Amino acid sequence: MIKKCKAFSVGAGLALAVSACSGSGPELQEGMWEITTEVNMPGMPMQIPAMVHRQCLGPDDVVPRQGPAQQEICDYSKARIRGNTVSWTVECTSPGGTTTTVGEITYRGTTFDGSLQVAMSGAVEMSGTNHISGRRVGDCQ
């Protein structure tokens, strides 16, 4: 259960920051999670391979990160938790433009699935829907 506000960051060539505040948390088993993001951005000259990384997730850290944060300034909204579903919206600004991401995942104990709708404007104009999934692989270290 989430009892106080916490900040989280998410990025895959983009940095996202969201916060989750009080309320009932999703059904997720705390531990080390393997997170896979499949990028689908029509108009890209080549398909980007799936990105895989590991992260500790638990009741106070329910939004998965997508990798190292870039140098961007993000205006984020609170994460919303409804049952086992976590959703968030964030807008990040960098010298190259603005990226807006709307994410939603649904936990099922030791797995989750969801999507990220990404829209980029500025030096590069494109949008797409990325699939994100995760599975618990052990204890946090």
Percent of the chain with pLDDT over 70: 76
Least confident among 56-70, 86-100, 101-115: 56-70
Q: Structurally, how many domains does the chain consist of?
A: 1
Does residue 41 register a pLDDT over 60? yes
Residue 12 lies in a domain: yes
CA dist., res. 78 & res. 67, Å (int):
20
Q: What is the pLDDT of residue 16?
A: 32
Q: What is the pLDDT of residue 139?
A: 97
Residue 1 lies in a domain: no
Sequence-ordered list of residues with C-beta below 8 angstroms from that of 47, at least 6 positions apart, any chain: 39
Whole domain around residue 96: which residue ranges?
A: 6-138
CA dist., res. 139 & res. 71, Å (int):
30
Does residue 133 register a pLDDT over 90? yes
Q: What is the pLDDT of residue 10?
A: 38
Residue 22 lies in a domain: yes
Task: Say what the pTM is.
Answer: 0.73
